[in-house]
Structure 1
């Protein structure tokens, strides 16, 4: 079989609520965050299979992200982003992962502030 470019999984606009920030009102109240994930992996077997074991299961990754975000507190957007990135690149097949997290209404005149982090094998 000829070598193919990696398959790319994108989870777009995963909307969650978490405790994020250092101000008193941020510590006391959950805030909305929007998470975008991009995960690259070879998918050699999944291209010709109908077996879920041959694919990187994006549902499993997404459930782990939801669990992390909703059940923890974060002072810094950087820490939250790195923790989500750690989940995104945990599977041994992953060759590249990118996470962007938007903290909505973080600044008065902006829709959001976002943080992006990447990992590459």
Structure 2
């Protein structure tokens, strides 16, 4: 994970539960499945701290709405593709300097709680 420098805020979106088409088996292609998304992002928050108005902050609600729409309206063969798409949604916001996305597919393997893929991206200041 990227180092938290002075003035940077860390936002965590935890346990975003969505349903989508994910997988390569016939049953997975035909039926939506639950997924769990966790996102950590860093952005410079000096203005938000000083001015205390949403226009000077990173609006995580907007980001989450974009992710929900994208995930629920698309189909994914691989967990890696889904994870990258969510990461791309986050990084489209220019204020984001670093993001890490983990997507869990519960019960993807027998005897396992879940399988997850984690990807991250960094933008120079």
TM superposition score category, shorter chain reference: over 0.9
Structure 1 partner of 2:93:
91
Aligned length: 119
Find the aligned partners of 2:58 and 2:64 in 1 and give their Cα distance. 11
Find the aligned partners of 2:91 and 2:46 in 1 and give their Cα distance. 18
Structure 2 partner of 1:24:
26
Matched residue SS, 2:39: strand
Q: How does 1:1-121 map to 2 (within 5 A)?
A: 4-121=6-123
Find the aligned partners of 1:6 and 1:79 in 2 and give their Cα distance. 29
Residue-by-residue CA offset, 1:62-102 (whole Å, 9 max, x unaligned): 00000011110000101000000001111111110000000
Which runs of structure 1 show a deviation greater than 4 angstroms over 4 or more consecutive aligned residues? Answer: none
Output the TM-score relative to the length of structure 2: 0.92
Output the TM-score relative to the length of structure 1: 0.95
Pick closer, same or farther for the CA change 1:97–1:45 going to 2, 3 Å: same
Pick closer, same or farther for the CA change 1:45–1:5 going to 2, 3 Å: closer
Matched residue SS, 1:45: helix
Which segments of 5 or more consecutive residues in structure 2 lack a partner in the other structure?
A: none
Find the aligned partners of 1:66 and 1:41 in 2 and give their Cα distance. 21
Find the aligned partners of 2:68 and 2:93 in 1 and give their Cα distance. 17
C-alpha RMSD of matched pairs (Å) = 1.0
The CA deviation at 1:60 is 0.2
